[in-house]
Amino acid sequence: MSTIQNDALEAQTQGQQKARPRRKIGCLSGCLIFFVVYIICSAVIGYFMGDMLNASGVTLKDKTVYRLELKGTLVEQAQEENPFAELLNQMPYGDAPETTVGLDQILSNIRLAKTDDNIPGIWLDGGTLSTEPACAKAIRDALLDFKQSGKWIIATTKNYTTTNYYIASAADRIAIDPTGIVAWNGLSAQKMYFARMFEKIGVEMQILKVGTFKSAVEPYFRSSMSDADRLQTEQYLQGIWSEYKSAVSASRKLTPEQLDELADRYMGLEDATEDLKAGLVDTIMYRQDVDSLLRIYTGTKDYHVMTTSKLAQVKRPKSKAEKKVAVVYLQGTITEDSGDGIVSKDVVKTLKKIGKDDNVKALVVRVNSGGGSADASEQIWHAIQKLKSDTFPVVVSMGGMAASGGYYISCGADYIFAEPTTITGSIGIFGTVPNVSKLFDKIGLDVDGVSTNIHSDLEVHSFYKGMSPEEHQKWQAMVERGYDLFTNRCAEGRHVDQEYIKSIGEGRVWLGDKAVELKLVDQLGNIDDAIAKAVELAGLEDYKIAYYPEKKDPMEEILKALDHSSDEEKLLIKVRNFCSQPRIMAMMPEVKIQ
């Protein structure tokens, strides 16, 4: 073979070898694209097919047990089930999106279970539901009301958090896995502080605030709790713990003193047999053997089980009334234009839509928020006031919390309800302006420019160079004007003097029962109480309830399911958002109670 032929053959061989990896990569890419498209199409088709199949509703069979799963994250209003969740688990290294369950759905199901003869009892399955104490109390109260029908409740799980055990204590029988735990350990509230981190990277958070107890901003310039924040946190935490002990004491025949002793033992590290001896549980049994327990309680081996989402599809009697009570759910951080929480432009749009509906005769606003943008809160407050009239009452029902901006949007209502453990108040304002001059000096970055007037570059200068005393005074004056407006809104809404509001304001947080005493809230009660009050104020006899906002688009939920940000990424995003958010905030600190 000639040299030319050898060279040609070698070149061809090398070309084939190079082509093979490309073909492999192309094949893998094609397969991956096909797999993703297949999953999305399957999810969408499954969603719409399921919707068609369930259009006629679900029929209850005799001996159907309501299986109420205490797991995932509790939200105020149930959303459409994410059709992408289970399919996402099929992907390599895939994780299903966080499971959420609606408080409204749970309460509705418990009411149905109480009156429907096909449902003999409720099975509380699990004990790691993430929820606020006030919302946990709403579930527990509904379960106690259910028991008035003479029906039974059993609870089984491997592990209980303190709050979930508080819910489960309403059961007639509590069973735990031999290797399980009851984390009856008491409560703690933890906050994260960033001051030392900012110092290391050369960022100074220039703080402007009104209110001794306005602690939401403390994590950005302190490394530990202030005395004022520690005082208010201890007080509301003790109030919640007192409610937990009182409720469990009544159900489990244990004194509050005994429950404190058990908490001091840190029962979360004790063996299940110790939980049995202490009277926290009634039975030790494997989770897989719950069938035998359900057979005993239903009196048959042919019982049926229905989950929360499925039971919600059972048809309820529909009112033919034309008059409506609008119920609007507002949950999360208050922002102006975007976010997963309370977006003021969307809320205002919804309220305007309600106002144009001549059949709506009353409005109930369910608030569960620790606040956010002060301006966004003002916009929502104004939209609610425009709806108020003698024949259009507005009643607020406070959920887990309605603090700072959450209280701002609530204060103008005709009547306000809160749960005893609702966190509310926090009437205060703060602002933050980061000073990154030291950071820029570390990395060798300079900023220069020209201005037409003395303070043309005030915001830029405050950010890159830091505030002068005069500039700090101007910023502080703006914050104080915001506080004056906030307290004025509260005073007008609660029909009290503004100076009184300022005396109990100062950013201080209160529990619902104390808020009634302070006239920040009218009455203790749940959302059903709020609806009943709205009906009373509107003088309605025949009415139906219309819920807002409408369910989210399933495709939006699919896209959200693809977001798998790590905890570290989410923390950095939170810090970034705080540094770039509107200057004036009406917000309480994010506290994790466990």
- Average pLDDT (297-306) is 97
User: In this predicted model, which residue has the larger pLDDT, 569 or 276?
Assistant: 276
pLDDT average, residue stretch 98-123: 95
Q: Is the pLDDT of residue 430 over 60?
A: yes
For residue 583, pLDDT over 80 is answered with no
pTM score: 0.84
The model's pLDDT over 183-237, given as tens digits with 9 standing for 90+, comes to 999 999 989 999 999 999 999 999 888 988 999 889 999 999 999 999 999 999 9
Residue 581: strand, helix, or coil: coil
Nearest to 199 by CA among 438, 9, 30, 429: 438
Q: Do domains 64-185+266-311 and 324-430+484-560+577-593 have the same CATH topology?
A: yes
pLDDT value at residue 362:
97
- Split at pLDDT 50, 70, 90, the class of 371 is very high
Pick one of 3.20.20.370, 3.40.50.970, 3.90.226.10, 3.30.70.2660 as the CATH number of 64-185+266-311. 3.90.226.10
Task: Evaluate if residue 139 carries a pLDDT over 50.
Answer: yes
At 397, phi and psi to the nearest 5? -115, 115
Q: What is the pLDDT of residues 27-76, one digit of tens each?
A: 555 555 555 555 555 545 444 444 444 445 688 999 999 999 999 999 99
- Label residue 589 by pLDDT band (50, 70, 90): low
Annotate 149-184 with three-state secondary structure.
CCCEEEEEEEEECHHHHHHHCCCCEEEEEEEEEECC
Percent of the chain whose predicted confidence (pLDDT) is above 90: 67
User: For residues 486 and 429, is the Cβ–Cβ distance under 8 A?
Assistant: yes
Domain ranges of the chain: 64-185+266-311, 324-430+484-560+577-593
Local structure of residue 288 (DSSP, 8 states): G
- Whole-angstrom distance, CA of residue 47 vs CA of residue 558: 11
Res 15 pLDDT > 60: no
Give the list of residues 6+ apart from residue 275 with CB closer than 8 angstroms, or none.
Answer: 176, 181, 182, 267, 281
What is the pLDDT at residue 391?
A: 75
Reported as a single tens digit per residue, the pLDDT across 308-342 is 999 999 988 888 899 999 999 999 999 998 778 99
Residue listed under structure tokens 């592990």: 159
Beta bridge partners of 429: 210
For residue 581, pLDDT over 50 is answered with: no
Q: Is the dihedral of CA 270, 274, 275, 279 positive or negative?
A: negative
Asked whether residue 585 carries a pLDDT value surpassing 90, the answer given is no
Say which CATH topology domain 324-430+484-560+577-593 has. 2-enoyl-CoA Hydratase; Chain A, domain 1 (3.90.226)
